[in-house]
Structure 1
Amino acid sequence: MTDRHVYLVDDEAAVRRSVSFMLKAAGLSVVTFESGEAFLKSAGALGPGCALLDVRLGGMDGLAVQQCMRDRGIMLPVIIITGHGDIGLAVRAMKAGAVDFIEKPFEKAMLLAAIDQAFRYGEGHEQAYVLARQAQARLNALSPRESDVLGGLVDGHSNKVIAYDLGISPRTVEIHRANLMAKLGVGSLSDALRIAFMARLGDLAA
């Protein structure tokens, strides 16, 4: 796995040290950058791998870095690092093409799974397509109304806005939200959004 490079962009030295140690222990090659600007100076010459990009950076933030990568044609798969309360930013990043997002504090297994997924997506779409189809199969268990509610959540809307758009009460939205999370087998909104975005990657890989 040493030919798989992870480019970690985070302005917190402690995060760079701890994540680097975790990934190197798993056999990955890690290059760290303390700012988005520093990363972009080198990004065009970097080898295959994936970018692990903090959404809240000093100076140019993660979303701006991601957009700059796209503008320059830098095709490294991106995993977004988010803190508590950054789900809205993670949604924006996923809509802009990020492969996944990981919330602080990191769980090693989830981080490594996201990186493996990014490598698969970067090396060829076949495995990503399989994962996307698996996610879609889970979404197929939802009722039409539950799917509508999940769509509103993916768009970053509150329960109140979703209720208004669908012509139902906020309480009914809460019930549908609880039901869809139970059907998907997840315990958090971020996990439900992750499944929804994974399914969308199938459209890109097709």
Structure 2
Amino acid sequence: MIPDINLIPKLEKSQQGSKFLYILLGIITLLALTLLIWQYFTAWVEIVELQREESNLIAQRDQLNIDLATLQPGNEGSLEQSLQFVEMVSYPISPLINEIQGLQPSNSYLRNYTFSPESVSISIDFETLSDVSTYVSRLSNSSYFIDGQVLSITSSGLGEELGTDDETDFDVIPRQSVEITLLINETYLATGGVQ
């Protein structure tokens, strides 16, 4: 029989290297798992906090909607609208009405006027177009108003107003209905009509 003689030395270094590699791989795996578990619990805590904050914000939104609904009445009356307008407009109205009526030519009729914070809209009937141009030029020269704009001019005869337009009557001169918007000179009005 041939004796079994092994002259090649055993390689234990390679086993130690592979053990070191397995230990290093195990440590890296444990660190990765630890990091993932830490991120999971951190994200879970943040989700719980965000859900709590979301429920608080929803409750605040609902409360603000309820408050807004109580503050916005839907056309409850002209008294409240009048009070809001009076609080919004901070200029005297009487001098403006006096100026508008004082500059009117004879045989003209002030039908309607509405005020806004910066302007006055008026509706006036005139007999002729020359009366319209005279009135507009008087308004543009007035110190109470910065600018005036004629929005519309419509003519209506006596028969049209009564609803009987049987035939054209050349003896009736149609009246001119004019819509004018005037921008208020607030500094002149605030000083009481004195420059």
TM-score range, shorter chain: under 0.3
> Whose Rg is larger?
2
Higher helix share: 1
Higher strand share: 2
| Structure-1-length-normalised TM-score | 0.25
| Structure-2-length-normalised TM-score | 0.26
